[in-house]
Structure 1
Amino acid sequence: MTYTRRNHQLGPHTEAQMATSQPKRPWYKRKGPRIAAGATLCAVAVAATLGFIATNHLANNLHTTEVSGLASNSNHDGPLNILVIGSDGRDGSINAGEAEGRRSDSLMILHLNSTHTQATGIQIPRDTMVKPPKNSKEYASDPQQPVQINSFLDEGDSQLVSAVTDLTGIPLDHSVDVSFGGFMSVIDALDGITMCLPEALHDPDANLNLPAGCQTLHGKDALAMARTRHAIGDGSDLARIKHQQQVMAAILDKVKKDNVLSNPTKMFDLLNKASSSITVDSGLKDQKELAAVLKSFSQAGLDRMEFRQLPVEPYPLDPNRVQLSNDGEAFLKSFQHD
């Protein structure tokens, strides 16, 4: 299937995507977290235990890109915000079909409050319609026409940072881009995850072919399950989020079962394998900055982290897309300065 940028503006109607935000439930039951972003949040929270030498090694593994529009928080006092991008860029790790350009398959702000006592993953639906940033070249001819937010990654990480900042009013300190390969590396470093399927799942578009029953999924199959739209449900993006929640729950179960978070050797192996498939802004390449950011998030602890979905409502011109709602605006205000 060939992808075009203008597919981000209009799409077919599906009733599932007309759903607005749901009442608050336990984080593991919400539709907020996307799989790559959720796994990255867990990694960021505990990586500080590895020490400076290990952090230096991980910093050298990371790929970097210059990103403009980021805030400056060199003292790391006060709130800290990191944009985590689950990129669908084809890196050769899987046969994911043809796609023109790059999109953000998932988009999340990792917010640490001003006292470093609470961390929140704020998921932005990738179908959210927003006006192009002022410096957008692709959409400069019609700057008032809203565009699907995940399309801006094709113009570079800086454009996506600008779009997210304009939408949320939250200053972003850093950006982290996780590829398909990075996600698979996390699964493989855990020696796979256990999934119990009530029925067989088949989706040629996602390279998914799994039998019913309990089984161990390694990187490619776990990614296929997280990406599938057609194996279960109505084929909507919200249906895919349910699959990703199941995979995320299996990752957390495996991490807990294997005591990964309390074992520096296992945690280093996990991050070491994943870091080579992660691209960060140039500021995080500095091991002192990376260590400071990791330490800041580790202060909150895993028991004081939650995932929230940005409240949205149907986009009037296309119910298959969404836009920021009044509840969403009120929700964001609580994170803009805290």
Structure 2
Amino acid sequence: MAEHERVTTRRRRVLLAAACAAAALVVLGAGVAGYAYFRLNGNIQSVDIDARLGTARPSSATDGSFNILVLGSDSRAGGNGDLAGGDTGGTARSDTAMVLHVNQDHSRAEVVSIPRDTLVARPDCADGTGRTVPGSKRAMFNSAYEVGGAACAVKTTEQLTGLRMDHYVEIDFAGFARVVDAIGGVTVTTTVAIHDRDSGLDLPPGEHHLDGRQALAFVRTRHGVGDGSDLGRIELQKQMVRSLLRQTGGAGLFANPVKLWSVGDTLTRSITTDTALASVNSLVGLAQELKGIGPDQLTMVTLPVVAAPGDPNRVVAEQPQADQLWAALKADGELPRAVLGEQPENPALATPTAPAKASPKAAAGTGAGTGSGAGATR
């Protein structure tokens, strides 16, 4: 009887110890999760677009579709100084601009690239000190970010498109390179050699797995491929977007918590968003809404443009195609065939025996100045 009591007491002690250990692990796990949550939330930088722009904006869609303005900044501040060549003279512009439209049931998306040298009517904007910068009837699209930051870029895009930009996401050079490295690099294919002294990219024809710096050089390259125009560079950027979607879709992030943490930490340190997206919960929610969209569900086009009157190194929206494009997005409909049928050719996928053919719009942007042409600045 006494022996049975001793065994029972030992068993209770073991069970109590196990329960205490389990409780400690739960508490520790919750603490780690809490730390991770606050760490990732603290990484994200944001801009209160709604407060800066007020209510004088296009209305959001009511059918479930939404739009995101995605900007790539060419800032050389911080860790960007020695990346991807070029010189901005100490300023920052929206080197890359894409309007992402997600349809009402979130099963497909369209991306419209806006050439940085497109001449637009830029509205009045407030600069970083709150001083009003007068608008311009004929300003380069990427100057909006330069004079008034993210809010001015959003305001200019909404005026150009007639669409509400429900969200805004920005990434700079260093951030893009870090994200590519975090997901394990990205694979691209080129049928022609690419040699660009300015971006530092040197690729023979074939399939290449690029690290972050190489991927950045790829999306920055223009002098070393095709007709040397910014419109050709946009085609390289489209290929990169599709490659990134394939890479992240096959990376098995959720099966690898360590890699998932690394990617999450890197991504949140690399982006700036509007305040509505500036939390882990919001970003995860957005990822859930977009999870069914892969390369096959993504249509990517460039805003139809022609050479600007009196300035062959700038472009303007081609009409009526441009208005038809924005109207299609607003109606959440299919993109016009007139737009799809006249897209520039990806210079990296041109036939190896001949230079890339420029579409009439790409050729129109070619020139020896500082715009979209072959002699344009980076």
Same fold by TM-score greater than 0.5: yes
Q: Gapped runs of 5+ residues in structure 1?
A: 1-50
| Structure 1 equivalent of residue 288 of structure 2 | 295
Taking a change above 3 Å as real, the CA distance of residues 334 and 196 of structure 1, as seen in their structure-2 partners, is closer
Between the aligned partners of 1:293 and 1:191, the Cα distance in structure 2 is 22
How far off is 1:109 after superposition? 1.6
RMSD, aligned CA: 3.5
TM-score scaled by structure 2?
0.64
User: Residue type matched to 1:313 in 2?
Assistant: V
Residue number among 87, 90, 110 corresponding to 2:76 in the alignment: 90
| Structure 1 equivalent of residue 211 of structure 2 | 218
Please state whether the residue corresponding to 2:312 is helix, strand or coil: strand
Residue number among 321, 326, 330 corresponding to 2:324 in the alignment: 330
Please list the CA deviations of residues 122-171 of structure 1 after superposition, one character each: whole Å capped at 9, or x if unmatched. 22222221112133679956x45311101111121111111000000101
Q: Gapped runs of 5+ residues in structure 2?
A: 1-32, 333-378
Taking a change above 3 Å as real, the CA distance of residues 323 and 56 of structure 1, as seen in their structure-2 partners, is farther
Residue number among 79, 84, 89 corresponding to 2:65 in the alignment: 79
1:313 aligns with 2:301: no
| Structure 1 equivalent of residue 348 of structure 2 | none
| Structure 1 equivalent of residue 53 of structure 2 | 69
1:99 aligns with 2:88: yes
Q: Which deviates further from its counterpart, 177-186 or 132-141? A: 132-141
Please state whether the residue corresponding to 1:146 is helix, strand or coil: strand
Specify which structure has the bigger relative contact order, considering alpha-carbon pairs within 8 angstroms and separated by 6 or more residues.
1
1:147 aligns with 2:123: no
Please list the CA deviations of residues 61-89 of structure 1 after superposition, one character each: whole Å capped at 9, or x if unmatched. 21222322377999996332211101111
Q: How does 1:53-202 map to 2 (within 5 A)?
A: 58-67=40-49, 68-69=52-53, 78-91=64-77, 92-93=79-80, 94-95=82-83, 96-100=85-89, 101-135=91-125, 143-154=135-146, 155-195=148-188, 201-202=194-195
Please list the CA deviations of residues 165-220 of structure 1 after superposition, one character each: whole Å capped at 9, or x if unmatched. 00001011221101111211222123323456566543222123445665542111
Please state whether the residue corresponding to 2:122 is helix, strand or coil: coil
Please state whether the residue corresponding to 1:164 is helix, strand or coil: helix
Please state whether the residue corresponding to 1:121 is helix, strand or coil: strand
Between the aligned partners of 1:211 and 1:102, the Cα distance in structure 2 is 32
Q: Which deviates further from its counterpart, 186-195 or 232-241? A: 186-195
Taking a change above 3 Å as real, the CA distance of residues 135 and 255 of structure 1, as seen in their structure-2 partners, is closer
| Structure 2 equivalent of residue 43 of structure 1 | none
Residue number among 195, 208, 213 corresponding to 2:201 in the alignment: 208
User: Residue type matched to 2:200 in 1?
Assistant: N
Please state whether the residue corresponding to 1:182 is helix, strand or coil: helix
Between the aligned partners of 1:132 and 1:330, the Cα distance in structure 2 is 21
How far off is 1:227 after superposition? 0.9
TM-score scaled by structure 1?
0.71
Q: Contact conserved, 2:199 with 2:217, CA < 8 A, in 1?
A: yes
| Structure 2 equivalent of residue 46 of structure 1 | none
User: Residue type matched to 2:299 in 1?
Assistant: E
Taking a change above 3 Å as real, the CA distance of residues 135 and 214 of structure 1, as seen in their structure-2 partners, is closer
Please state whether the residue corresponding to 1:223 is helix, strand or coil: helix
Between the aligned partners of 1:316 and 1:218, the Cα distance in structure 2 is 41
User: Residue type matched to 2:68 in 1?
Assistant: I
Between the aligned partners of 1:52 and 1:169, the Cα distance in structure 2 is 41
User: Residue type matched to 1:170 in 2?
Assistant: L
Between the aligned partners of 2:308 and 2:271, the Cα distance in structure 1 is 33
Taking a change above 3 Å as real, the CA distance of residues 243 and 260 of structure 1, as seen in their structure-2 partners, is same
Please state whether the residue corresponding to 2:215 is helix, strand or coil: helix
User: Residue type matched to 1:129 in 2?
Assistant: L
Tell which structure's C-alpha radius of gyration is larger. 2
Among all aligned residue pairs of Structure 1 and Structure 2, give the percentage whose two residues are the same amino acid.
34
How far off is 1:222 after superposition? 1.9
Q: Which deviates further from its counterpart, 273-282 or 262-271? A: 262-271
Q: Contact conserved, 1:63 with 1:278, CA < 8 A, in 2?
A: yes
Taking a change above 3 Å as real, the CA distance of residues 199 and 290 of structure 1, as seen in their structure-2 partners, is closer
Between the aligned partners of 1:168 and 1:235, the Cα distance in structure 2 is 27
| Structure 2 equivalent of residue 45 of structure 1 | none
